[in-house]
Chain A
Amino acid sequence: MSQASALLRRDAAELSARLPPLLAHAERLAATVLAGEHGRRRAGQGDEFWQYRPAHEGDEARHIDWRRSARSDAHFIRQKEWQAAQTVLFWVDDARAMDFTSSPDLPAKRERAQLLAMAAASLLLRGGERVGLLGAPFPPRMGEHQLTPLAAALLSQDERGEYGAPVMDGLGANTNVVMISDFLGDPAPFEAALSQAASRGVRGALLQILDPQEEAFPFEGRTIFESMGGVLSHETKKAGNLRARYLERLAARKALLADLAARSGWQYLCHHTDAPASAALLWLYGALERRR
């Protein structure tokens, strides 16, 4: 038996050991949202009656519901509830920067991102959507059996850079994209990705996940800051003096993201790992609802 296959098996075992907890955790989180969020609440293609609306110019005559219209003077069109399946693609930043956590009590940003992605995916799959991963080797599919390959792809860690950047491949129309990252690296790839997406009519959500320490910058004294991989480093003699300017830059980065999102019709939220995941999930779910 070769060493490579042994390693592979070991990794597989580790992966499968971690999969169920992630799945279970995500299911549990999803369950907190599912209650009360039934239906699409939009007119569209489907079987279920949605509403009558007065007929406008340009409506085809065959759409008019004569039975309803006969009860009044105006013409009404019978609309069905929108039930067309959509595709939602997730992109979860797997860069080293996402491994950071300031306290053993808090989850790493990466863990929180994966959890939210899986929980949202679970919700969407139950709602009958197609869910996939941006840049994944498998296409987006419907059905809950899609969860397992999703989780496996999320947990695989190869070729990780210091900061992540999305690859906007294979985006079709009627697709939503959810990007989960800390967005601390170079913003240029994101700007490019978002403009590319906007040009194709792809909508979506940006979920920024930050550690509380990244938000507070509680450092003092002479310090050398290093990125998680150790590639970037910055030395200061008085860390305390940098705090105001760091916070300024962070606020600027958030504003940039919010602006980007607004311009391309996306949604943006900054989420901290010390806040409950369910709030972020609720927002994420709502954001996807609004887009459709």
Chain B
Amino acid sequence: MFTIGPIGFTAPLILLGFLLLPVLWLLLRAVPPAPIRRRFPGVALLLGLQDDENETDKTPWWLLLLRMAALAAAIIGFAGPVLNPRAEQPGSGPLLILADGSWADAAGWARRIERMDALLEEAGADGRPVAVVMLADLPEGPLPFQGAEAWQRRLAGLQPTPWAPTPSPQWITALSDEGDFDTVWLSDGLARESRAPLLAALEAHGLVRVIESPRPVLGLGAVRFEEGEIAMDVLRSRAEGPLEVVIAAIGPDPAGVTRELARVEAGFEPGAESAEARFYLPAELRNRITRFAISGLRSAGAVQLADDALRRREVALIAGRADREGLDLLDPLHYLRKALEPSADLLEGGLDEILPANPDVIILADVAKLAPGEEEALREWVEKGGLLVRFAGPQLAASDVSRGAEDPLMPVRLRAGGRVVGGAMSWGTPKKLRPFAPESPFFGLDIPPDVEVSAQVLAEPDPTLSARVIASLADGTPLVTRKRIGRGQVVLFHVTANAEWSSLPLSRLFVEMLERLAVSARKGAPGAESLAGTEWRLEKRLDGFGELADAAEPIVVKGEVIATVEPGQEIPPGLYAGEDRSLAVNVLGEGAVLAPAAWPARIPVEGIAALRETGFKGAFLAAALALLLLDLLASLWLSGRLRGPRRGLAAGALFLGLCLGALAPAPAARAQEGAPPPPDDAEARAIAAAAKVTLAYVITGDSELDRLSEAGLLGLSDILYRRTSVEPGLPMGVDLERDELSLFPLLYWPISPSQPLPSKEAYAKLNEYLRRGGMILFDTRDGDLSGLGQSTPEGRKLQALALPLDIPPLEPVPEDHVLTRTFYLIQTFPGRYDRPIWAEAAPPDAEKVEGMPFRNLNDGVSPVIIGGNDWAGAWAVDRSGAPLLPVGRGYTGERQREMAYRFGVNLVMYVLTGNYKSDQVHVPALLERLGQ
């Protein structure tokens, strides 16, 4: 074969065609381009015109060069150029191709297979018998020497295993029974103890070559928990220059689709063999994670499966007293519950019930004294690794717990009485928090500027105090202290768990602090003793490429074995399930190190990339074709066919050329992952409703009626805005099934005979709403023809609707009801009709105040007002503010509309201010006192 440098030619004689090029040059220069025929009426004017120059347009030199280049490319192409023509390599006798086939091979598995294929091809050409053996999956019996073609067919079936190759010593000694053979060892690049004896055994049979990728092997170390963060080491086998890898946390999203939940970057310092990746994730996300993986690396070693260790913790809440029922915001446990609910399983109850459940954390909120037996049990639990979190409070401050001597279950001694540093009756201002010290578990948390502490219990100064403080106020007094007892710890917050003493429980910081504390209370890694006697069944199996699949064959392993034995053929890496726990067996365990394989100097080590024969025939011919195409376009352009009229034809050719250009493989577009969720509509609505006083109507499903209700409330809102200090927002329709009711002070509920009954849940919400001070204005819109309508369909519907509601006894609104004087003094409550309306009955013992025109009436606000006066109809205005429906006749009608508005104003005032105007009864008495 004729070769020039690394390029050889299969048909070198064709290269003589280059001699033709100069001839062609002359020929092409001599022939002018063909003329175009054009129809053109102006030709009559052209007749007789002579060309200036006799010579025709010559083919320009660059076009000639283009054509020459095309021809040259064609000649070279047909001559069959080949890069790296295969030189004959010596070798005879059987050949053993030994591959590690471990997880470390998986990342470059395709290239290894390719390399093996090249080796087999060579061996086949030389007629050598070959055996292909994967060390991680050893064949039974003697080495399977076969023809190279047979192996080539089976090559595609080889898969890397997710464990390290550990050939048994027996297998190595059995090698000595074989005859002579040469060995090519495709190493995965990691150091192993078994390599040296195996290498010695192989060298006894013949030459050994090693093929190894120079790239470092990357692996993901075991997952650790550090101060509420998830940390893991990324390992590499060769400490080289800086390297950035991306670690992805993968798990099911809320829809159940497995996807990347979070990603962090870990950067190797130059020369470092490991880098740390830290995830700080909300508990909800952390609970979802099923595995961590190095992004873009297909290898079992680049995957860490997650098991129970990431699960929610059990937290027990115990409060000192629960005497003020119904006042959620004052409940000492309310904020704890809110903060912990998303991230932990909460237990509540007495200490004696909770301790046997062995929770991870027990929180005592303002609990001063414990029964002696309980205290002992609690202490035992803490010593075994429990985390006890205590909150101060009035009871603790008032008690003498940990006063003289330190209580075993308190981190510090306390001073009597605590102190108040800010508030109505003290000179000091509320104290801010001091930034957390580096040794504090809270170190790194942002302190919101609005967190203030106005009262606290104070610690007695003590030699050990400073070591126990993990958070303090700006003036240095401790806010959170901690003491370790045995394997557990006691943490004391020197403030209450509710917002009475500080605004800490209202802030994000509170949640983060609790999370740091609760998460750092994780149980340690399972040891052999803790797993003793258990049985684990393989559920999901990890393959060499790091993909999880359901385990095909049932594998049951004893707990002791799992804890001690390295993963291998007997214990394949994957997820194992126990009774109610799950356990992940990962390729790389705690303390794993990736060391590069060291080979003796006598062994030749080659890179993995095979120098294969590369034919360039196709490339050259394609280049020739492309050049000819260019020539075509250039010729067209030169002859004016691309520029003048009839461009259309030429544009077609140009398009063809562009198409050929576009055939080059385009980089695959990366799919957009993790599109942001749509903005929460309900939340925006709630914010809009809560931002201003918002009148609301119940959506009945009758669109005409709903429009009228909206227009009515719009009209009333307008009047309120103009006449009173109430400035309502735009009225809203309320869907009883879905919408939050507590945001609206008043619900207008027009009755339509066709509307469906609300569901049970909606009724529950309505009752809750009425109980918490909401008001519903029922409007049958029928003029109340028969007194709380028995006969009209609306009246019957109202009865059906109101039956499940928690409505007190009613009476027609008496003339001295607060409703008659909250803003205007009115006696009737007209809408488009003018009939009496009904409200909650006054208690029978309400007495008329002496000398006053009204009684000291019920101390509450009526939860319902019922009538049939079609108020919305009277209030309704269109966009320009003009009334929509007529009321009555002429001036009297307009007067009635005005009265309807006045009723609306009074009603809203009644809802917003309650019985404030009832206090008018006391005005004479107050005036009398002031006068003295």
A residues contacting B by CB (< 8 A) are: 97-98, 100, 102-103, 163, 182, 184-186, 211, 213-214, 217-228, 232-239, 241-242, 245-246, 249-250, 253
Contacts and interface: CB of A to CB of B under 8 A. Distances in A.
Contact of A236 (B32, B33, B51, B645): B51
A112 to B, nearest CB: 14
Contact of B638 (A219, A221, A225, A235): A221
A246 B33 contact: no
12 contacts: A100-B40, A100-B41, A184-B42, A219-B40, A221-B638, A222-B36, A223-B37, A226-B40, A234-B43, A237-B56, A238-B56, A241-B52
B46 A234 contact: yes
A87 B336 CA distance: 107
A249 B43 CA distance: 11
Nearest to B37: A224
Contact of A237 (B32, B46, B644): B32
Contact of A184 (B41, B49, B639): B41
B38 A221 contact: no
A245 B49 contact: yes
A234 B48 CA distance: 8
Interface string B26-65: 0000001111111111111111010111011100000000
A64 B764 CA distance: 109
B644 A224 contact: no
Contact of B45 (A103, A220, A253): A253
A214 B640 CA distance: 17
B644 A238 contact: no
A222 B46 contact: no
Residue with the highest number of chain A CB atoms closer than 10 Å, among B34, B40, B57, B643 = B40
Contacts of A222: 32-36, 56-57, 639
A226 B51 contact: no
A182 B41 CA distance: 9
Given A97-B41, A238-B53, 5 more contacts: A221-B640, A227-B40, A236-B49, A237-B56, A250-B45
Contacts of A246: 42, 45-46, 49
B37 A221 contact: no
A221 B57 contact: yes
Interface of B: 32-47, 49, 51-53, 55-57, 638-641, 643-645
A100 B39 contact: yes
**Chain B, interface SS category:** loop
B39 A226 contact: yes
Contacts of A237: 32, 51, 53, 55-57
A245 B42 CA distance: 12
Contacts of B32: 222, 237
B36 A224 contact: yes
A250 B643 CA distance: 23
Contact of B41 (A219, A228, A233): A228
A234 B40 CA distance: 10
Contacts of B37: 223-224, 226
A185 B47 CA distance: 11
A103 B645 contact: yes
Contacts of B639: 220-222
Contacts of B43: 225-227, 232-234
Nearest to B36: A223
Contact of A235 (B35, B40, B42): B35
B51 A232 contact: no
B41 A238 contact: no
A233 B41 CA distance: 10
B649 to A, nearest CB: 14
Nearest to B40: A225
B48 to A, nearest CB: 8
A250 B41 CA distance: 12
A223 to B, nearest CB: 5
B644 A219 contact: yes
Nearest to A249: B45
Contacts of A213: 40, 645
A235 B50 CA distance: 9
A227 B41 CA distance: 5
Contacts of A235: 35
Given A220-B644, A221-B36, A224-B35, A214 B41 contact: yes
Contacts of B645: 102-103, 213, 218
Given A225-B38, A235-B35, A237-B51, A219 B46 contact: no
B583 to A, nearest CB: 77
A185 B44 contact: yes
Nearest to A235: B35
A163 B44 contact: yes
B644 A218 contact: yes
Contacts of A226: 37-40, 43
Contact of B42 (A103, A236, A241, A250): A250
A38 to B, nearest CB: 39
Nearest 10 A-B pairs (CB), nearest first?
A220-B640, A221-B640, A97-B41, A222-B35, A225-B43, A237-B56, A249-B45, A221-B639, A234-B46, A225-B40
A233 B47 CA distance: 8
B769 to A, nearest CB: 71
B563 to A, nearest CB: 85
Given A222-B57, A241-B51, A245-B49, A184 B44 contact: yes
B352 to A, nearest CB: 96
A163 B45 CA distance: 12
A233 B42 CA distance: 10
A239 B641 CA distance: 12
Contact of A242 (B34, B49, B640): B49
A223 B35 contact: yes
Contacts of B56: 222, 237-238
Nearest to B638: A221
Contacts of B643: 218, 220
A34 B99 CA distance: 97
Nearest to A226: B39
Contacts of B640: 219-221, 223, 239
Nearest to A231: B43
A54 to B, nearest CB: 54
Contact of B47 (A182, A211, A232): A232
Given A103-B645, A236-B51, A237-B57, A223 B42 contact: no
Given A214-B41, A237-B56, A221 B33 contact: yes
A163 B44 CA distance: 9
Contacts of B40: 100, 213-214, 219, 225-227
A228 B44 CA distance: 11
Contacts of B44: 97, 163, 184-186, 227, 232
Contacts of B57: 221-222, 237-238
B97 to A, nearest CB: 65
Given A234-B47, A242-B46, A245-B49, A224 B41 contact: no
Nearest to B32: A222
A225 B46 contact: yes
B39 A228 contact: yes
A214 B49 CA distance: 16
A12 to B, nearest CB: 30
Contacts of B42: 184, 214, 217, 225, 246, 250
A223 B38 CA distance: 7
Contacts of B644: 218-220
B54 to A, nearest CB: 8
Contacts of A218: 643-645
Nearest to B45: A249
A98 B645 CA distance: 18
Contacts of A227: 39-41, 43-44
A289 to B, nearest CB: 31
Contacts of B36: 221-224
Contacts of B39: 100, 225-228
Contacts of B46: 225, 234, 236, 242, 246, 249
Nearest to A230: B39
A237 B53 CA distance: 9
A24 to B, nearest CB: 28
